[in-house]
Amino acid sequence: MKKLFWLLVAVLVMSTALAQQTRLRVFVGGQQRPDVMRKIFDLYQSRNPGVRVDVEVGGATSDQQQQYLTTVLASRDPSIDVILIDVIRPAQYAAAKWADTLDKYLPSATRQALLQQYLPAYAKANVIGGNLVALPSFADAQFLYYRKDLLEKYGLKPPVTWDEAIKQAQTILAGERNPNLNGIGFMGNISEGTVCSFLLPIWAAGGDVDEGGKLVLTEAQARASLQFWLDLMDKHKVAPPNMAEKAQDTIRQEMQAGRWIFGTLFAYAWNRFQNDADSQVKGKIGVVPLPRFEGGRSASCLGGWQWTISDFSKNKAQAYKLVRFLSSPEVSKILAIDASNLPVFPSLYRDADVLKANPWFADALPVVQAARARPVHPRYPEVADVMRKALNAVLARIKTPDAAAKEVIDGLRAIYR
């Protein structure tokens, strides 16, 4: 009888504790290392026993994630509290009123002081029309990953220009005679990474899509970019004929299996190459800035991910506390060490533990600082769609660079009216 009494008391205490517990649901994309994020949420829970964080994982690519999130948010679904969004999204979130603006938690002086700690590109990307829409999680940029062992075997130094990269790839491919080995990997399917592929040659030649909200991209610049990527396949034979099928993580997986000499990838790939059990390239990869064109300059695509609070969350105050933790130097350091996610705090690029896990971060800060932002536009998904579909169609040989370039300009004009 006594036992039963105590059992009842225990059940009562536990259920009251559960009832008092706040449950936060966080959305994280499949490529943004949900395993490492879980570790970080466990740490938060251990310090905040009243809070439980559940992770929802979805979408392999940035655009697939957003397609799903658009459905959730457009229906004002309150089930997700906190969302990890790509650096290209804050303007869209602000325009759609999907994000709880964080200004109300941060008096303007505090907000100023907080934002100053981050790399300027991220402080800037998250303030839309004067409102703070999100806080930075990690920085990102595209780099040239290369097979150190293969370049060394042929007495080659990492390439500085695209011409050098093409020649090196041709030399190594001819020497290796390995039908499974490819030259220069880049994104070509209809996904967000392909937008970066499209923009890289335009930036490297000194161009851009818009300036001060006005469309400045010319048809000639668009054509030159489309032709450059097509030539890697058809003229220089350093990429296989099916580049129209390649998403970023496809290139990463193939490079991890030893099938690429060069890959134009974002920072997360490093940790996978070094630590995944199935990696064939552990210790064989080097990372340098992307090549430039003869007489031009190296350009990289600014990436990165941000924490935003859904405006439909029923736990906004608790969600804000979690987001402050997630955007702290402590978490930035964990993400750098466990996932090779580039820090959003400049000092972490000199941190001994961070550099032990990612020696190349020592030279990565200038690349992130010089990286170019994709257009900031409330209708960004449409802007992106025009660019990635054009490059994909050229690589699939459905359209010529001439026809696709014209469509890019017509498509963008309709959006930038």
Name the residues that contact ligand GLC, by CB under 6 A. 62, 86-87, 140, 192-193, 248, 266, 303-304
Q: Is 158 exposed, middle or buried (0-12, 13-18, 19+ CB in 10 A)?
A: middle
Q: If we measure between CA atoms, which residue out of 169, 200, 223, 202 comes closest to residue 402?
A: 223
Task: Give me the count of residues in the chain.
Answer: 417
Per the CB < 8 A criterion, the answer to whether 180 and 344 are in contact is no
From its phi and psi, is residue 340 left (phi > 0), alpha (psi between -120 and 50) or beta?
A: left
Structure tokens at 369: 């600082």
For ligand GLC, the closer CB: 94 or 172: 94
Least gap, CB of 66 to ligand GLC (angstroms): 10
Per the CB < 8 A criterion, the answer to whether 184 and 165 are in contact is yes
For ligand GLC, the closer CB: 248 or 332: 248
Least gap, CB of 208 to ligand GLC (angstroms): 17
For ligand GLC, the closer CB: 66 or 168: 66
Which 8-state DSSP code applies to residue 99?
A: B
CA atoms within 13 A on the CB side of 237: 6
Q: What is the three-class DSSP state of 185?
A: strand
For ligand GLC, the closer CB: 143 or 312: 143
For ligand GLC, the closer CB: 303 or 401: 303
For ligand GLC, the closer CB: 62 or 313: 62
Least gap, CB of 112 to ligand GLC (angstroms): 26
Dihedral of the alpha carbons of 324, 27, 340, 296, in degrees to the nearest 10: -100
Locate the DSSP E strands across 289-346: 302-309
For ligand GLC, the closer CB: 248 or 327: 248
**Residue whose CB is nearest to ligand GLC in the complex, by number:** 303
Least gap, CB of 196 to ligand GLC (angstroms): 6
Least gap, CB of 400 to ligand GLC (angstroms): 26
Least gap, CB of 178 to ligand GLC (angstroms): 27
Least gap, CB of 406 to ligand GLC (angstroms): 26
